[in-house]
Structure 1
Amino acid sequence: MTIYLPIAELPVNVFTLLAMGIAVGFISGMFGVGGGFLMTPLLIFLGVSPAVAVASVTTHMAASSFSGTLTYTRRKLVDYQLGGMLLAGGLTGTLGGVITFMVLRRFGQLDLFIAVAYITLLGTIGTLMVVESLRALVRNWRGQKAEVRRPGAHPWFLRLPFKMRFRQSHIYVSAIPVVTIGFVIGFLGALMGIGGGFLLVPALIYLLRVPTLTSVATSLLLTLVTMVAAILMQAVLNQTVDAVLGLVLMIGGVIGAQFGARAGQSMKAENLRLLLGLLVLAVGMRVLVDQTSQPADPYAVTIDESAR
């Protein structure tokens, strides 16, 4: 069954889109990520333009994050206080990302920026997560205990002023790095079509020392709110949100996220981090191969956005 995407100007099979939504929604619920880092490249590979893919994927991430957040809320794993501080920076970053998106698109540099940013971010974060997770697994296999930080041995940025106690996450840190992390996640989410969870979850775990499941649950909450804001901003400022595409992806995302969240809660933290790292690294490598390989048709006609 083929449907026509009015904004993307592309006919696609509705069952293909639905299957993509379910699969990425499952991953979103399991790892606490928005899934955009996977869905955006998939849509681009399908033939959707990067501008429309980035803007429309926000609807899928909002739906799957909402579904996953409900599941974790029932388990009382969401740190609302930490989520509120992250959102303070996240919403501001989302606005900045949408404006930067608009400027890059106007000057015809958006596609190149998205490709380079995906390769750099996914490759770096994925490699770091895989290495750390493998070390943890080897340490557990040998029966060695993880190194415990001595009191006062936290990084300097956690000892900045305006310290707050986040009881659900069992941490006492400065609010400045928390807000900064939220800003960066919101900015990249709006600019690159990623929920930011694949960055936020490692940041909460390794920088702020938040427990893994709490990081996953709180990440979904931040993704939900920032992606709803991104949908509204992209639709008003850039007119690149394809409602038909977004609706099909949303339906699949809600279904998949419920099963993914349940699967994620039954896995060990080390295994969860390793799988997420491998997934992030694999997507980054796939984007790199796509950008460096010779296209089947070396000639293409594009519309100069700056001339509009």
Structure 2
Amino acid sequence: MDVYLPIANLSVNGLVIVGLGGLMGILSGMFGVGGGFLTTPLLIFYGIPPTVAAASAASQVTGASVSGVFAHTRRGGVDYLMGGVMVVGGVFGTLVGAVLFRLLQELGQIDTVINILYVIMLGAIGGMMGNEAVQSLRAMRSGRRLPARKRRHHPLVANLPWRWRFYRSGLYISPLAPLLLGFSTGILTMLLGVGGGFILVPAMLYILGMSASVVVGTSLFEILFVTMVSTMMHALTTKAVDIVLALLLLIGSVSGAQIGAQFAQKFRPEYLRLILAVIVILVALRLAIGLGYRPDEIFTVTPL
């Protein structure tokens, strides 16, 4: 079933794109991650231009985050004040990211920069996840327990001025810390088309010291609005959002999430984290190889 993507300016098999979205949904249901950080690389492997892949993936993440925010809102798992501060930082980060994206696009280096950033990011994430999973498996086999991490914000956060009380998170810290965190996520969202949850969640836990009960919901709240703004910025500035591609991905991800949730009940979390770490590292290696070898078509034409 061939489908024409008007912005990417090519025809693709619609079932394959839906299948990629389904794979991201399965990963979301199995591992508790949005899967957005793998969507863009897999689209690039399939032949979608990196600029279109990054911009369209951001819009798909927006749609996938809506149901998650509603679910966590019903159980009181969202710190709206903390999320609001991060959204403000994320909006400014998106504006800066849009300028960087357009500048790199005009220089003809945006595709290379996207690939390099993904290699670094996925390599680091995969390595950390793999190390944590291996330690957990060793502890499980030896019968000992790993020491529990204490919930405490980073010393640098404690030294920042103008403290506010974030009652839902149980924190009394400066709003500058979540503001800067949201700013960084906004830049990543604009450049790479990711939601940023894989960075936000650990940062909120181990840097801000937030309560685990509100971390995921607050992260999704920030991701929802920042990816929304990122999609609008891409549509207005880079004009790289392919709504047909985003819809096909969204159809697959909604269905795949239900399947992934069923799989998750049959495996231990330690094995799931190890499998995800291996997948992430393999994708990073494939991107790294793609940066080094000479392609069959040296020159390609991508939409501006």
TM-score (norm 2): 0.85
Q: SS of the counterpart of 2:77?
A: coil
User: How big is each residue's C-alpha offset from its partner over 1:82-139, in whole Å with a ceiling of 9 and x where there is no partner?
Assistant: 2112112111111111221111101101011111111111112321233234435545
1:192 paired residue number? 192
Of 5-14 and 200-209, deviating more is 200-209
2:9 paired residue number? 9
Sequence identity percentage: 41
Aligned counterparts, 1:127-146, within 5 A: 127-136=127-136, 138-139=138-139, 142-144=143-145, 146=147
CA apart distance, 1:268: 7.9
2:41 paired residue number? 41
2:242 paired residue number? 242
Distance in 1 (CA, whole Å) between partners of 2:255 and 2:303 is: 38
AA aligned to 2:99 is: I
Distance in 2 (CA, whole Å) between partners of 1:74 and 1:150 is: 25
AA aligned to 1:2 is: D
Contact preservation (8 Å) 1:31, 1:264: yes
Distance in 1 (CA, whole Å) between partners of 2:272 and 2:179 is: 26
Contact preservation (8 Å) 2:97, 2:190: yes
Distance in 2 (CA, whole Å) between partners of 1:6 and 1:304 is: 10
Contact preservation (8 Å) 2:154, 2:208: no
AA aligned to 2:92 is: T
Contact preservation (8 Å) 1:29, 1:64: no
Of 17-26 and 187-196, deviating more is 17-26
Distance in 2 (CA, whole Å) between partners of 1:213 and 1:259 is: 25
Give the gaps of 5 or more residues in structure 1: none
Distance in 2 (CA, whole Å) between partners of 1:178 and 1:48 is: 34
Give the gaps of 5 or more residues in structure 2: none
AA aligned to 1:223 is: I
Contact preservation (8 Å) 1:50, 1:111: yes
Q: Matched residue pairs, number?
A: 303
Q: 1:250 to 1:127 in 2, by over 3 A?
A: same
Of 263-272 and 283-292, deviating more is 263-272
2:77 paired residue number? 77
CA apart distance, 1:70: 2.5
Contact preservation (8 Å) 2:154, 2:209: no
CA apart distance, 1:161: 1.8
Distance in 2 (CA, whole Å) between partners of 1:265 and 1:176 is: 39
Q: 1:266 to 1:217 in 2, by over 3 A?
A: farther
AA aligned to 1:19 is: G
Contact preservation (8 Å) 2:29, 2:264: yes
Distance in 2 (CA, whole Å) between partners of 1:209 and 1:39 is: 29
2:57 paired residue number? 57
TM-score (norm 1): 0.84
Of 39-48 and 194-203, deviating more is 194-203
Of 135-144 and 99-108, deviating more is 135-144
User: How big is each residue's C-alpha offset from its partner over 1:3-42, in whole Å with a ceiling of 9 and x where there is no partner?
Assistant: 1111111111111111211221343455554433111111
Contact preservation (8 Å) 1:63, 1:253: no
Aligned counterparts, 1:1-308, within 5 A: 1-28=1-28, 33-136=33-136, 138-139=138-139, 142-144=143-145, 146=147, 149=150, 154-212=154-212, 214-257=214-257, 277-295=277-295, 297=296, 299-302=298-301
Distance in 2 (CA, whole Å) between partners of 1:137 and 1:95 is: 43
AA aligned to 1:246 is: A
CA apart distance, 1:271: 6.5
User: How big is each residue's C-alpha offset from its partner over 1:63-93, in whole Å with a ceiling of 9 and x where there is no partner?
Assistant: 1111222333333323323211211211111
Contact preservation (8 Å) 2:122, 2:284: yes
Distance in 2 (CA, whole Å) between partners of 1:31 and 1:216 is: 13
Q: SS of the counterpart of 1:4?
A: strand
